[in-house]
Homo-oligomer: A and B are copies of this chain.
Amino acid sequence: MILDRINGPKNLKTLSASERKELAQEIRQAMLKRASIHGGHFGPDFGIVEATIALHTVFDSPKDKIVWDVSHQVYPHKILTGRKQAYLEEEHYDDVSGYSNPAESEHDFFEVGHTSTSISLASGLAMARDLRGGHENIIAVIGDGSMSGGEALEGLDTVGEMGTNMIIVLNDNQMSIAEVHGGMYKGFDELRRTGGKSEHNLFRAMGLDYRFVADGNDSEALIKVFREVKDIDHPVVVHIVTQKGKGYKFAEEDKESWHWHMPFDIETGEVKHPYVDEAAELTATYLLDRMKTDKKLAVLTAATPSSFGFTSERRKQAGKQFIDVGIAEEQAVAMASGLAKGGARPVFGDYATFFQRTYDQISQDVCINNNPAVFLVFGASMYSMNDVTHLCIFDIPMMANIPNLVYLAPVSLAEYKAMLAWALDQTEHPVAIRVPVLPVPSEGRVIRTDYSQLNTYEVTRRGEEVAILGLGNFYGLAEQTAAELEKKGIHATIINPTYITGLDTDLLESLKKDHRLVVTMEDGVLDGGFGEKIARFYGSSDMKTCAFGLEKKFYDRYDYEKLAEEYNLKPELAAKKILDLIK
């Protein structure tokens, strides 16, 4: 195997063209086997193999610095920079993260996982080099899908004014996770059709130089162009056309499903343990059904349609009532405000971690204007994505402290559905819903269908001494903790707070009569969260409070159960802590 000889980029420099071809083959082989067993990103890595070989052949990493956008295409890079074991040996598959990671290698400069950041980050490296008086090459590798993100476009504009070395490799595989969307892609299309000669060139319009490589899966063509731009004295875009999923038939044919993939059978491409996201399914079927009678219902995604069940088939069914704005969360939220103002009923769904892109738009474009847009916040839980760049545990501090927003926490799928219906029926408030993360019960616990009396909590069981407020996903934990307490003779009150964004002051006041401890349980970090609001409310009274949730911290690839234990987020542990407090 060629790979046997590759322990770092320096081993690449002397390979022949045919050896590079063989090496590409070996890398795909290793990645295929690993993906079939371990799962992970697929299409982006299979498309970028030759470009990675070419980059490390021409440039001198880590002196020359390569910044990978999103970094879900970074597997070949990891293989070539000393981490091949994690792709070749099953027992080492988990030695590396799924993203670029400076803790793993000097060839990685940033830990990233959100899109559209590479140009901005690289522009900083370039300016630092210039202040230092250095001469290395700074390279950003960014996909066509990521180019639609505001941060990338802002970065392009800054780079377009810089007068020094900076190389942006546009990896154009004609896809985002799903198909690309936006006017710029007409331009990219023309560039592909004209061999880079079309005058509709976003990069030249932004002040950058430009090169085109028709076959971005041809290492030799890439090496030629990379050699030409190496040590260039001004910013240049190298536009390379690659095939997403290249080398594995099923991934070439269905690029969307194979962007990221669960473990599968290599022969058939069949998923080993099929999994249906019930919350996403419920959302898509409900919205599609509602569209039939409500022609002003508009569903928006920022390039993650599958996060809420909008498969390509369903997108077709929705027709012009569904819009994918591309990776452009700010646009999605602001557009939703415009839609609401214009009399439509907009729903924007995305993962909690990506809502982080939209703080200002939620605050300014939507909430100051009090336009009734609806936001579905998916995956918001510690039992969700556990890569540090994809944590979904910060949404409560971020969103629940924005005025005018009504942020709801359903405790079951049935309650989620009732809230979604209400949110779309009413036009008084911008509403966000923290979509349940399983396991929550599918049925039951829908006490009402009208949520317009804001900040009215539901007492689901009247007890005494201790009251437990179980927010959203953690309502079940509250019930189970109460059951543990029952064994010790404490008959606790159980409450479904329902509203994250406000306090039911009457109810909280009334608890003072016959309770001496109010406990909150929330599925996220405590800092800036729901429990702290309750603590402040009771601060000057005799009522004691205790907030269960996570410490403010960037957790990475954690074990869910261990983390739950560490923070007493298990019924027995929580009950024990409560008993300690009241004894």
Task: Give me the interface of A with B, judged by CB distance under 8 Å.
Answer: 67, 102, 109-114, 117, 120-132, 148-151, 153-161, 181-187, 199-202, 204-208, 235, 295-296, 298, 320-321, 323, 325-326, 328, 330-331, 334-344, 346, 356-357, 359-361, 363-365, 367-369, 388-389, 394, 397-398, 400-404, 517, 525-529, 531-533, 535-536, 538-541, 544-547, 552-554, 581
Contact A359 B361 (CB under 8 A): no
Cα distance A323–B206 in the bound complex, in angstroms? 18
- CA A303 – CA B326 in complex, angstroms? 27
- Given A160-B182, A295-B131, A342-B125, A120:B205 Cβ within 8 A: no
Shortest A200–chain B CB gap in Å is 5
- A525 CB contacts on chain B under 8 angstroms: 401
Q: Quick check: B401 and A341 within 8 Å, CB to CB? A: no
The closest CB in chain B to the CB of A120 belongs to B334
Q: Which residues of the other chain, B, contact A131 by a CB distance below 8 angstroms?
A: 295-296, 298, 320-321, 344
Known: A359-B398, A532-B532. 8 other contacts (CB 8 A): A110-B338, A148-B154, A150-B153, A155-B335, A157-B331, A158-B331, A159-B183, A199-B204
* A156 / chain B contacts, CB cutoff of 8 Å: 183
Q: Given A150-B149, A400-B528 in contact, is the A328-B158 Cβ separation under 8 Å? A: yes
* A128 nearest CB neighbor, chain B only: B342
What are 25 A-B contacts with C-beta separation under 8 Å?
Answer: A112-B364, A114-B364, A117-B361, A121-B365, A124-B337, A131-B298, A132-B296, A132-B342, A132-B344, A148-B154, A155-B334, A157-B183, A157-B325, A158-B325, A158-B328, A161-B183, A182-B207, A184-B206, A201-B205, A356-B364, A359-B359, A368-B554, A394-B402, A397-B401, A539-B545
What is the chain B residue whose CB lies nearest that of A531? B536
Complex: A33 Cα to B482 Cα, angstroms: 69
Find A369's partner among B111, B154, B363 (CB 8 Å cutoff).
B111
Nearest CB of chain B from residue A447's CB, rounded to whole Å: 26
Chain B residues in 8 Å Cβ range of A157: 148, 153, 182-184, 325-326, 328, 331
Residues of chain B within 8 A (CB-CB) of A389 are 364, 368
Which of B151, B202, B337, B403 is in CB contact (< 8 Å) with A552?
Answer: B403
When C-beta atoms are compared, the residue in chain B nearest to A543 turns out to be: B539
What residue of chain B has the Cβ atom nearest to residue A554's Cβ? B403
Chain B residues within an 8 Å CB radius of A334 = 117, 120-121, 124, 151, 155
Interface pair A337/B202, CB less than 8 Å apart: no
> What is the bound-complex CA distance between A529 and B536, given in angstroms?
10
Give the Cβ gap from A517 to chain B, nearest Cβ, in Å: 8
Residue of B nearest to A518 (CB): B539
Q: Are B546 and A540 in contact (CB under 8 A)?
A: yes
CA distance A186 to B346 in the complex (A): 37
Residues of chain B within 8 A (CB-CB) of A394 are 363, 401-402
Task: Give the top 3 A-B pairs by smallest Cβ distance, nearest first.
Answer: A160-B183, A124-B338, A150-B150
CA distance A113 to B151 in the complex (A): 20
Q: Which B residues are CB-close (under 8 A) to A109? A: 341
CB distance A331 to B154 under 8 Å? yes
Is A339 in contact with B127, judged by CB distance below 8 angstroms?
yes
By a CB distance below 8 angstroms, the chain B residues around A335 are 120-121, 123-124, 127, 155, 158
Residue of A200, A517, A528 most packed against chain B (CB within 10 A): A528
A336 to B121, CA, bound (A): 8
Task: Please measure, in the bound complex, the distance between the C-alpha atom of A201 and the C-alpha atom of B581, giving whole angstroms.
Answer: 67
Other-chain residue from B121, B150, B321, B369 in contact with A151 (beta carbon distance below 8 A): B150
With both beta carbons as reference points, the residue of chain B lying nearest to A152 in the complex is identified as B150
Given known pairs A186-B207, A535-B535, the reply for A338 and B544 (CB within 8 Å) is no
**A188 and chain B: residue at smallest CB distance:** B205
Collect the chain B residues with CB atoms within 8 Å of residue A331's CB: 120, 123, 151, 154-155, 157-158
Query: In the complex, how many angstroms separate the beta carbon of A267 from the nearest chain B beta carbon?
Result: 39
Give bound CA distance, A273 to B328, whole Å: 44
Q: Are A528 and B539 in contact (CB under 8 A)?
A: no
Given A183-B159, A536-B535: A124 and B340 interface contact (C-beta under 8 Å) = yes
